[in-house]
Amino acid sequence: MPQTPAWWFDGSTPPWWARIASTGYAGLIALRRSAYRRGLLRQYHPGVPVIVVGNIVAGGSGKTPLVLAVIERLRAAGYTPGVASRGYGRNDARTPRWVDVGMDAALCGDEPLLIAGISGAKVRVDRDRVAAAQALREVGCDVVVCDDGLQHYRLARDIEIEVQDQRRHYGNGRLLPAGPLREPIERAADCEFRVLNFGAVPHPVACETTEWPMRLKIGVVRPLHTGARLSMEAFRDQRVHAVAGIGEPERFFSMLREAGIGVVPHAFPDHHAYTPEDFSFGSQLHILMTEKDAVKCASFALPSAWVVPISAQLPESFWSALLSRLPHR
């Protein structure tokens, strides 16, 4: 994914060409939404509930930890969830496929591989999310969770969850490419749930009744290859190389700093395809990386690399409200 333009979030004026392109993009969005509302473009429903977890801002907002938490809660409530994803960044985007643990991320995308490995749920990658949802139903999934896809209107959905970075919000409020918005801000009002990602803030401030706070929590750190697991406390007061190829690398770096760790940051583009040369840092410090990065580095000889798991925590009232919108089990 290209580097985020500075003007999206720093308050500066976007260049003239971006403002002109943004106007054209707004027109295309309006035409497309109108076509679906008027029935000129059809929507298809797979026959089982569909939950879409996405955002209207380009880049990372914390969708993947929330998708994993949704899968866990659905299972606990008696459902058999499956995940539909486009599989951003995979080499052969035209070929639908099931995601298997241990698969090369280049075949399926890093986020689907991470979700499959952690959750054990059926994960289907397909540019056509309708076809992905139908395939999941055919193998016994009774709820489809879409990893991203608020803008994929062809798939009819029962619940939409918008995830928003509490720090960056909607940036300058402009549409692409003048700003970070995939759709106008008003689109967020269509979503039944709006989740604000507060990162590692211990006690998120109270939100409006239409918004829900999400906190990210670091779990037990594991070695990239083999060895004993460690608590984050084991790295306190040490300097480490911190690696993050995610939408918002600074969020990961900040979490490590808040744990008392001296961070030498190494930010890579979102969905970066790593090579061993990327880890030639010139000093023999421990390397801490996100789980999303780790699935693409398992074949590298990195004996000093550690994987930092992150989970999403939300109020119990959020889960009660979400499950109340689904058929009871």
Q: Look at residue 229 in the predicted model and tell me its pLDDT.
A: 92
Going by the annotation, the residues of the binding site for ATP are: 57-64
Domain residue ranges in the chain: 35-214+314-323, 220-308
Backbone angles phi, psi at 20, to 5 degrees: -65, -45
Going by the annotation, the residues of the binding site are: 57-64
Tally of CB atoms within 10 A around 40: 10
For residue 324, give the 3-state DSSP assignment: coil
Q: What is the pTM of this model?
A: 0.93
β-bridge partners, 181: 57, 175
Backbone angles phi, psi at 246, to 5 degrees: -125, 175
pLDDT, tens digit, 9 for 90 and up, residues 129-184: 999 999 999 999 999 999 998 999 999 999 999 999 888 889 999 999 999 999 99
Within 8 A by CB and 6+ apart from 14, the residues are 5, 7, 22, 172, 174, 177, 178, 179
Distances (CA, A) of 123 to 95, 197, 313: 14, 24, 22
Closest CA to 58 of 188, 176, 209, 199: 176
Closest CA to 50 of 155, 188, 127: 155
Q: Look at residue 206 in the predicted model and tell me its pLDDT.
A: 54
Instruction: Just give the CATH number of 35-214+314-323.
Output: 3.40.50
Helices 63-76 and 110-119: angle between axes, nearest 10 degrees: 30
Q: Look at residue 204 in the predicted model and tell me its pLDDT.
A: 55
Q: Look at residue 327 in the predicted model and tell me its pLDDT.
A: 84
DSSP state letters, 156-204: --SEEEEEEETTTTTTTSPBTTTSSBSS-GGGGGG-SEEEEE-TT-SSP
Q: Look at residue 242 in the predicted model and tell me its pLDDT.
A: 97
Residues of the chain under the 50 pLDDT cut: 1
